[in-house]
Amino acid sequence: MANISLKNIRKVYPPDVTAVDGFNLEIEDRRFVVLVGPSGCGKTTVLRMIAGLEEITGGELRIGGQLMNEVPPKNRDIAMVFQNYALYPHMTVFKNMSFSLELRKVPKAEIKRRVEEAARILDIERLLHRKPKALSGGQRQRVALGRAMVREPAVFLLDEPLSNLDAKLRASMRTELIKLHRRLETTFVYVTHDQTEAMTMGELIVVMKDGFIQQIDTPQNLYDRPCNAFVAGFIGNPQMNFMNGVLERDERGFHMAFAKDRIYFPKERQGGWMEAYSGKPVKLGVRPEDIYDDEASLDKYGDAVINAHVEVSELMGSEVYLYLEREGMNLTARVGPGTTSRTGDKVKVAIDMGKAHLFDPENENALSDRQGKDD
Amino acid sequence: MRIRKGKGNTMKQPMKKYFSAALCLFALSTMLFASACSNTGGADSGGDGAVDVVMWGWGEEWGFAFEAYMEAEAPDVNFEYVAVDGDEYVQKLQAAVSAGTRLPDIAALEMDSRGQLMSLGIFENLESPPYGLDRSEIMDFLIPLCTNSEGQVVGVETQPAPGGLAYRRELAKEYLGTDDPSELESKLQTWDDFIALGKEVKEKSGGKVYMFASIDEAAFILTSQNSQPFVTEDGKSNLTAALKGGFETTKEMYDAGIVDVLGDQTPAWNASLSGGEHIFYACPTWYPFYVIEPNDPEGIGQWGIISPPGGGYNMGGTLFGIPSEAGTEASRLEAWKFIKWLTLSEAGAEWIRDNWDSASSYKPIYSDPGFFEGQVNPYFEMNLPEAFLRISQDVTTRPITKYDTIVVDELMPQGYRDIEAGKSVDEIMAGLEKSFKEQAGDLKG
Amino acid sequence: MKEKSARNIIITPATNSRKPRRGNKPGKRNRYAIFFLAPYIAGVLVFWILPILFTFAISFTKWDGFNAMQFIGIENYKHLFLEDGRFFKSLFNTVVIMGLSIPVTLVLALIFAYILSGKALYAKRFLQLGVFLPYIMTPVAVGIIFALLFDQHYGFVNRILMYLHIIQSPLPWLGNEWLARITLAIALIWMYCGYQMILLMSGMSMISEDVYDAARIDGANTRQVFFRITLPLLKGVLVFVVITSLIGGFQLFDEPLLLFNSSLSGKFPIGGPDNAALTMSLFFYNESYTNFNFGYGAAISYMMFVVIALISFVSMKIMDRGDRL
């Protein structure tokens, strides 16, 4: 069994740099888990601790139930794919892939079998006698994968493997990796800073910031119920719109101010918990895809209509991004391709306040009713 | 905003181009000029009928000698002394010959490179007109040292360097029974006596005290005491005749354990002079001033000198010669007049005695015992010039050949080291003969 | 505004295609270039090319530098090859001394580079400096110091060895043929180890850390990492070091000269005891500038050139072939 258990994992670089703290995570066998977060959040450090390339300062790491803190990398039954591929420049592709097996004194015939099979799966058979410098980025990536695959490990660790590829290749490799995961039926622990990769590939996503876990959840839950403003802003593209304001109340109900307009919360959401924040400053979060400029929506969400003018409009082909501005406040809206709004226009947009998020302006935690699972 | 080319810029362009061209040419010509201007040493001093005489030397006392000569004889010359380092002397001569620049009228030929220089055939034969040297005026043992392979006298020894054996008085007293020179000489009439006494010294001192500090010295003295040339007249190697005897005696001494193995002129050897464990040292005329006194500054009154068994030997020396291509006929003649005054006249001999504490080449003074009266050297408590005079009476020297450098600098040191390594003399000589033929490609056998 | 600049851009190429005006830059620039290059080219010609040709010419003559040259055809070369044992001896000496010193220097340099490029090593910089310092010492000083250290009777080395009872009686380091070569080799190793170490360290620093991480995961222990990863990836630097050592070795001059011919070393032939340390350069120098056989010296120097060229060529071929495997 290759479930991975991290309990209270801590990493401190002397004298006083704490890279990771209070890290608790249970990964079941065969899962595809993604660690995601901005640069420097500690995700790679965690991966390297699982691999055994970094010493674990505190806490317990278990793989398959065995305590692995002091076990050297080669005995942990893991394989790693690096961001820069880390291929051995002086060895052929074949040797790169067979190196670890040679070190273990696996019989030659078996080595040949495994390498050729992995090469076949990854479609690099005709490259076996080339050296890394004669390969393209994508080919090198696949060799790195192959090198990991032949070891038939219990866990695959992948450190931003797609970062160095161009956008098109990245997209196709994403699907390749997902298919590979299904085929190999092995645990994948994947580190990335790209939330798109995380959302598309991960079964379970761990969002990290500054060495701490922010939220562990499925992609959909992270999207629907971020537990704090950071997660909310990190997931979703374009990024969620944030507005600081005061939660006010009048005869029509709770609302917030956007320039001279008021946007009201729908009746279903107005509840007791808002009393606690009445009159207090809050942070409002609205996803661009929840802002509409078409007639039907203006009607539907009539309680939350604002006027703004379009500073910039980006035509993406399948949709249009409108960058709105009013009296110093900015808003990004993602609308359908049929929109007539263009740069310079004064428009009216409606916000689906039912999907809006509220956060405490100080600790940034999501306020109740839209909270995600506890971390 | 766009940058506009102003009218002002356009006007300056041709000016700039000419300016940089001029700068370029200036830099180029300065370089060429500077490189042409080097190397011509000192300029001639005035020329109002006086002849310019140039001397190259590494010892400024030679310049003083010329000045003394000018005072004494008042010749109509402009004298110029050019300091040239001894190590570069031959190279500089060669460069001057090839480049055709001014050679010195008076050139110094030290013993080390004398053979080569004399063999080049670039010095004047001083016996022929207009020089008219009379070789009977030169002390006998010095004549072979001034003669080239064709029998011409091409220079006169300025600082003859006959050598004796210097000894430390207390050691001599303790281990040899006396420190009186004539008594010592009667005890050490032959080298066999020397070796026998040496063995006694070794026993008495329990192996601590040696007769000689280095094999090099002992071998040099011994091999210098015969006059066999290194190469016969018909160009064949005569090494064995010249060296074998000396090497055999040296080996005897070494095997008897009476010779220490310090390297000649190394720091250890220098220290031994005041160390009190070695009795005898080779001692040519220049050793007391240049070697013994500096290394044993406290040794006043502790030294003596005797004539070695087998007679004196020659060690070093500097010759003044006149390059044939130097200056003009007149300058060369003037150079000769100086050399003759200094080395072959009584006035010069007196000057040398008074200023250099040494004897010149002038034969008559060697039979004048009173010439060096009263010159007692405090270190030796003896009248050194007189002692060397006495030693000079039976010094043997061998003719100079162009192979001297090879033999003295390459072959003999190899021989010394071979003796130290315990090889037999026959082996050593065979090896040296072979090397000699390799190094001197034009030997005929 | 935009239209004006577009017009300018169109016009200019047409101007260039017409006959060049007097003040046009390309023509004048060539003329100036010759002035600026002339001094350097003159220097190269006079001090480099001409001497090489001149040397070749005088290698067929007998010349002592003072008198006229005598043309003697290939006599010099004949004597060199067939009669003078010193040519092959000097070649042998040079090869032996290189064989003694180059491999040891390289291995030591590798060891030092490996140890001293590791991470938290106490006083690492200080040790690096210490190993490198001998390289910047002048050969004169090195020769003299080693002559003193290895002196048979008063040298420190013999005293220590006897004190530790490794030897019974003092060894004639400078007096025995083979010991002299070993002493010289030790001096060379001491001098050049630091330099090679620096080169190897810079080579090592170019190997990315990721490769080492991958190797750890693949299961390589320290020894395997060194021999199967570090060393192969250092190949370029190693080739460079070996070839330059070979070339430098053939030009060995200062150290043997000063080890055996300084004022502190006692009397030896120019190449040490039995000419055991007579390298080809020393041989050339002795013949030309001490014995004034410039013609013979010229012949020697051309033979040196041939030997060095051959060896460089061969060793590069060997190294290259290894690459293709």
% residues pLDDT > 90 (chain A): 48
Residue of chain B whose Cα is closest to the Cα of C28: B17
Interface test with B, best of C5, C34, C66 (most B CBs within 10 A): C66
**What would the pLDDT profile of B385-419 be if each residue is shown by its tens digit?**
888 888 888 888 888 888 888 899 889 989 998 88
CATH classification code of B51-160+317-367: 3.40.190.10
Considering only the beta carbons, identify the residue of B264, B406, B414 that sits closest to C274.
Answer: B414
d(CA C258, CA C264): 9
The owner of tokens 């017409």 is C18
**Residue that wins the pLDDT comparison between C27 and B85:** B85
Residues 6+ apart with CB under 8 A from A180: A121, A145
> Per-domain residue ranges for chain A?
4-234, 241-359
Fold of A241-359: OB fold (Dihydrolipoamide Acetyltransferase, E2P) (2.40.50)
pLDDT at res. A369: 55
Residue C216 to residue A53, Cβ atoms within 8 A? yes
Residue C148: how many CB atoms within 10 A of its CB?
Answer: 18
> At C130, which helix (H) or strand (E)?
helix C124-132
**What would the pLDDT profile of A230-258 be if each residue is shown by its tens digit?**
999 999 888 999 988 888 888 878 888 87
pLDDT at res. C5: 43
Under-50 pLDDT residues of chain B: 1-11, 38-47
pLDDT at res. A370: 46
Smallest Cα distance from C135 to chain B, Å:
26
pLDDT at res. A1: 60
Q: How does strand C70-71 pair with strand C61-62?
A: antiparallel
- CB-based contact B333:B105 (threshold 8 Å): no
B263 near C CB under 8 A: yes
Considering only the beta carbons, identify the residue of C211, C216, C228 that sits closest to A73.
Answer: C216
Q: Nearest 10 degrees: CA dihedral of A172, A176, A179, A183?
A: 170
d(CA B191, CA B197): 10
d(CA A374, CA A16): 29
A207 near C CB under 8 A: no
C-contacting chains (≥3 CB pairs under 8 Å): A, B
pLDDT at res. C28: 60
Residues from chain B contacting residue C28 (CB–CB below 8 Å):
17
Residue of chain A whose Cα is closest to the Cα of C232: A90
**What would the pLDDT profile of C202-216 be if each residue is shown by its tens digit?**
999 888 889 999 999
Q: Can you list the alpha helix ranges (DSSP code H) found in A128-287?
A: 137-149, 167-184, 195-201, 219-224, 229-234, 272-277
C213 near A CB under 8 A: yes
Residue A90 to residue C233, Cβ atoms within 8 A? yes
Both tokens assigned to B92: 């500089």
Residue of chain C whose Cα is closest to the Cα of B261: C153
pLDDT at res. C108: 93
Residue A82 to residue C210, Cβ atoms within 8 A? yes
pLDDT at res. C68: 80
Residues from chain C contacting residue A89 (CB–CB below 8 Å):
211, 233
Rounded mean pLDDT of chain A?
A: 88
Q: Is-cis flag, bond preceding A219, omega within 30?
A: no
Q: Which homologous superfamily does the CATH classification assign to the domain defined by A4-234?
A: P-loop containing nucleotide triphosphate hydrolases (3.40.50.300)
| Selection from A58, A136, A56 nearest residue A93 by Cα | A136
Taking only residues 349 to 368 of chain B, the set having a beta carbon closer than 8 angstroms to any beta carbon of chain C reads none
Structure letter (DSSP) for residue A355: G
pLDDT at res. C21: 53
Residue C219 to residue A84, Cβ atoms within 8 A? no
Residue of chain B whose Cα is closest to the Cα of C263: B266
d(CA B443, CA C323): 52
Residues from chain A contacting residue C215 (CB–CB below 8 Å):
88, 99
Touching, A vs C (3+ Cβ pairs under 8 A):
yes
- CB-based contact C260:C277 (threshold 8 Å): yes
Residues from chain C contacting residue A141 (CB–CB below 8 Å):
none
Residue of chain B whose Cα is closest to the Cα of C39: B28
Given a cut of 80, is residue A312 above it in pLDDT?
yes
B144 near C CB under 8 A: no
Residues 6+ apart with CB under 8 A from C25: none
Interface test with A, best of C209, C216, C218 (most A CBs within 10 A): C218
C247 near A CB under 8 A: no
> Per-domain residue ranges for chain B?
51-160+317-367, 162-314+390-439
B87 near C CB under 8 A: no
Question: C322 falls in which pLDDT band (50, 70, 90)?
Answer: low
Residue C66 to residue B93, Cβ atoms within 8 A? yes
d(CA C154, CA C160): 11
d(CA B367, CA C154): 47
pLDDT at res. A14: 84
Mean pLDDT of C24-39: 73
B122 near C CB under 8 A: yes
Given a cut of 60, is residue C8 above it in pLDDT?
no
% residues pLDDT > 90 (chain C): 27
**What would the pLDDT profile of A85-128 be if each residue is shown by its tens digit?**
999 999 999 999 999 999 999 899 999 999 999 999 898 999 99
Given a cut of 90, is residue A82 above it in pLDDT?
yes
- CB-based contact A214:A208 (threshold 8 Å): yes
C309 near A CB under 8 A: no
Residues from chain B contacting residue C64 (CB–CB below 8 Å):
120
Q: Concatenated DSSP letters for C38-91? A: HHHHHHHIIIIIHHHHHHHHHTTEE--SSS--EE-TTHHHHIIIII-HHHHHHH
Per DSSP, the three-state class of A54 is coil
Structure letter (DSSP) for residue A105: T
> At C250, which helix (H) or strand (E)?
helix C235-250
Per-residue three-class SS string for chain B: CCCCCCHHHHHHHHHHHHHHHHHHHHHHHHHHHHHHCCCCCCCCCCCCCCEEEEEEECCHHHHHHHHHHHHHHCCCEEEEEEECCHHHHHHHHHHHHHHCCCCCCEEEEEHHHHHHHHHCCCECCCCCCCCCCCHHHECHHHHHHHECCCCCECEEECCCCEEEEEEEHHHHHHHHCCCCHHHHHHHCCCHHHHHHHHHHHHHHCCCCCEEECCHHHHHHHHHHCCCCCCECCCCCECHHHHHHHHHHHHHHHHHCCCECCCCCCCHHHHHHCCCCCEEEEEEECCHHHHHHHHHCCCCCCCEEEECCCCCCEECCCEEEECECCCCCHHHHHHHHHHHHHHHCCHHHHHHHHHHHCCCCCEHHHHHCHHHHCCCCECCCCECHHHHHHHHHCCCCCCCCCCCHHHHHHHHHHHHHHHHHHCCCHHHHHHHHHHHHHHHCCCCCC
Torsion sign over Cα B316, B319, B323, B327: positive
In degrees and rounded to multiples of 5, residue A339 shows phi and psi of -70, 150
d(CA A374, CA B22): 84
> At C309, which helix (H) or strand (E)?
helix C294-324
Given a cut of 70, is residue C22 above it in pLDDT?
no
Interface test with C, best of A98, A100, A133, A155 (most C CBs within 10 A): A100
Smallest Cα distance from C148 to chain B, Å:
9
Mean pLDDT of A303-327: 89
Residue B266 to residue C290, Cβ atoms within 8 A? no
Residue of chain C whose Cα is closest to the Cα of B117: C66
Residues from chain C contacting residue A103 (CB–CB below 8 Å):
218-220, 224
Residues from chain A contacting residue C220 (CB–CB below 8 Å):
74, 99, 103
A104 near C CB under 8 A: yes
- CB-based contact C66:B94 (threshold 8 Å): yes
Half-sphere exposure of A22 toward its Cβ, with a 13 Å CA cutoff? 9
Residues from chain B contacting residue C23 (CB–CB below 8 Å):
13-14, 17
Taking only residues 17 to 76 of chain A, the set having a beta carbon closer than 8 angstroms to any beta carbon of chain C reads 51-53, 72-74
What is the assigned CATH class of domain C84-324? mainly alpha
Residue B409 to residue C83, Cβ atoms within 8 A? no
Residue A103 to residue C211, Cβ atoms within 8 A? no
Residues from chain C contacting residue B120 (CB–CB below 8 Å):
64, 66-67
Distances (CA, A) of B56 to B61, B72, B100, B157, C87: 12, 21, 16, 16, 37
Residue A284: how many CB atoms within 10 A of its CB?
Answer: 22
Smallest Cα distance from A69 to chain C, Å:
15
- CB-based contact C38:C27 (threshold 8 Å): no
Instruction: Considering the domain delimited by B162-314+390-439, tell me its CATH architecture.
Output: 3-Layer(aba) Sandwich (3.40)
Q: How does strand A187-192 pair with strand A320-326?
A: unpaired
Given a cut of 80, is residue A345 above it in pLDDT?
yes
Residue C218 to residue A100, Cβ atoms within 8 A? yes
A-contacting chains (≥3 CB pairs under 8 Å): C
Residue B120 to residue C265, Cβ atoms within 8 A? no
